[in-house]
Amino acid sequence: MRRPLSIAVLLGLGAGVLIILQTASVVHIVDTAIFEKQTLAALRTPFLLTLLIIFARAATQYASGRMGYYCAARVRQSVRSDLLSRLRELGPVRLSREHSGELAGTVTDGVEALEPYFSRYLPQRAVAAILPLLILAVSYPTDWITGLIFTGTAIFIPVLMILIGEEARSRNQRQWKELSRMSSRFLDILRGLPTLKMFGAARREGEVIRRISEDHRAATMEVVRIAFVSSLMLELITTISIALVAITTGLRLLHGNMDFSRAYFVLLIAPEFYRPLRTMGTTYHARMSAAAAAERIYALLAPDASPAEPPPIRPAAPPAAPPAARPATTAAPPEIEFQNVTCAYDQARRGPVLQDISLHIGPGEHVAVTGKSGIGKTTLLYLLLGFLQPQEGSVLVDGVNAALLDLERWRTQVAWMPQRPTIFPASVRENIALGRPGASDDEVEAAAHRAHAHHFITRLPQGFETAVGEGGHGISGGEIQRLGLARLFLRDAGLLLLDEPATHLDAASEQYVHSAISDLAAGRTMIVVAHRAAALDLVERVIAL
């Protein structure tokens, strides 16, 4: 954003130059009217010129502010987009150790904290570095004593900012950490409120939130206290400096050592000399807040940093076979093969979850994967989805290393349903059409029919247009599973990955789900992670880990 920032700075400097011209014009009018006894008619041109300068100054300052805000808006948009891309790149496995509240706070409040830094601080810093020099260049020829006062007193302002800078930085960092901690804890409490109520722990957690909120309040007040003290010192330095100019100028004017026009000029220009320095001092805290938020943002965006262990580097070679190029609308069943695959979430602390696994699943074959909890069943699915990369060995799709596939295109050929599908706060129709936003109403309803979901959807208050809450609030667990299956029918992919699709369901709901899966699996390769015996009836082969 160098160009818009440069334009904002140039406009700010232009406004400063106009201030000098405006001051000179006002001095000329007053001096001419009082001492040369000119009539108003004779001063018409200087008056019009002064008005023109005033309007030009206002327009320039407005344009400078708009350009600064434009730059800040573009930066926020770009950083937020980069953050979301980074989170998508890290994937759900590596993000599972992070607090959702902290991540959400970084993407929202953290990015918003950058706005005053780009819109106000950066342009003002450049203006404060150049404009006082321009005013000094005009002041010394006009009155060298005033120039010396300007120079001597202006030094105190950057010194003051340096002295408070480090303290303000540490306080802003603490404030941001407390805000992130509070956001994270509050989100956890909201999600776990039924459990907290059940165990009578809601009041205790409320007390925890109260303490965290109090810590955040205290950290915020420390930041505000520093901001007020620094503002007080800036105003004090500025007031004393202007008073010095006024006293020395008045005394020399009184004793006849200085003419009126020069005295009037330095008195009018003195506040304008300190204004950019004072404004930069007040925006300095915006820099501190932005720096505290940016540390977390940079930690997420850094290519070598991730919340968990970084994934193995994907090979850069292009795909040697056509799986990634297969049209998304073609439900061609792929062939899957694992060759001596070893995979770990945290190699140093837990060791591999899967070690030296080899298996083959033919195109159109239906397979169940069983084993005790934590043995790596879901990890197999994550490897196929590209959420994880194996540390050793390879996963082949139609004979091609899955690490060489274009993940975005490959995932269009995969239909995945986790243990509990995510239902978003939107209409039932929008939730079903998640994987195909352009699907017609008829296609969505046909998918619901095939998933045995149509009959309960039509009983909802607005049918397919009924809004369901976050996590499926308003519908039952079995109905959530059938909405997830309707998504898969609409997806029409060649590979089905189902992670315990009937977990925690009653017998009637389980029957509906299994009937829908049986229909869905026809002509597709299917891998089902299963514990319950009823799910094994859906497959031709069982793989025990």
pLDDT tens by residue, 287-316: 777 877 888 788 888 765 544 444 444 544
pLDDT at residue 311 in the model? 47
d(CA 405, CA 320): 9
State the alpha helices, DSSP H only, in 255-329: 260-301
CATH class, range 328-544: alpha beta
DSSP per position, 447-490: HHHHTT-HHHHTTSTTGGG-EE-GGGTTS-HHHHHHHHHHHHHH
The arrangement of secondary structure in 2-301, i.e. its CATH architecture, is Up-down Bundle (1.20)
- CB crowding 348-362: b at 16 or more within 10 Å, else e: eeeebbbeebeeebe
Tell how far CA 391 is from the center of its chain: 31
What is the pairing mode between strands 336-343 and 354-361? antiparallel
**What count of other Cβ atoms lies within 10 Å of the Cβ of residue 431?**
24
Listed by start position, the domains of the chain span 2-301, 328-544
Q: Going edge to edge, which strands form the sheet with 366-370?
A: 414-417, 495-499, 525-529, 366-370, 541-544
Closest CA to 141 of 17, 266, 270, 16: 266
Amino acid in the structure at residue 407: L
Judge residue 423's burial from the number of C-beta atoms within 10 Å of its C-beta, 0-12 exposed, 13-18 middle, 19 or more buried.
buried
Query: What pLDDT is attached to residue 50?
Result: 92
> What is the pLDDT at residue 350?
66
DSSP labels, 201-267: -HHHHHHHHHHHHHHHHHHHHHHHHHHHHHHHHHHHHHHHHHHHHHHHHHHHHHTTSS-HHHHHHHH
Phi-psi region of 200 (alpha: psi -120 to 50; beta: other; left: phi over 0): left
- Token couple for 486: 């309707």
> Is residue 207 classed exposed, middle or buried when 0-12, 13-18 and 19+ CB atoms within 10 A define those classes?
exposed
Angstrom distance (rounded) from CA 174 to CA 182: 12
Residue 242 structure tokens = 């202007």
pLDDT the model gives residue 337: 93
Q: What is the pLDDT, as a whole number, of residue 130?
A: 87
The DSSP code for 418 is -
Query: What is the spatial distance between Cα 487 and Cα 146, in angstroms, rounded to a whole number?
Result: 76
| CA pair distance 447, 441, nearest whole angstrom | 10
Work out whether the CA dihedral 92, 96, 97, 99 comes out positive or negative.
positive
pTM of the model: 0.68
Q: Would the CATH topology of 2-301 be identical to that of 328-544? A: no
Chain centroid to Cα 367, Å, comes to 41
Beta bridge partners of 368: 528, 542
User: Given this model, what pLDDT does residue 349 score?
Assistant: 58
Digit-by-digit pLDDT tens for the chain (545 residues) are 888 888 988 998 899 899 999 999 999 899 888 888 878 888 888 899 999 999 999 999 899 989 989 999 999 999 999 988 888 887 777 777 777 777 887 888 888 888 888 888 888 888 888 888 888 898 899 889 989 998 888 888 777 777 776 667 777 777 777 877 787 788 778 777 777 777 777 788 888 888 888 888 888 888 888 878 877 888 888 889 999 999 999 899 888 888 888 899 999 999 988 888 888 777 777 777 787 788 878 888 876 554 444 444 454 444 444 444 443 344 689 999 999 999 887 765 567 888 899 999 999 999 999 888 888 888 899 899 888 888 899 999 998 898 888 888 888 889 888 888 888 888 899 989 987 878 898 999 999 998 888 888 888 888 889 888 766 667 887 888 888 889 888 888 899 999 888 776 777 777 878 888 888 888 889 999 887 666 777 888 999 98
Q: Yes or no: say if 413 and 398 are a contact pair by the CB < 8 Å rule.
A: no
Hey, how many other C-beta atoms are within 10 angstroms of the C-beta on 462?
11
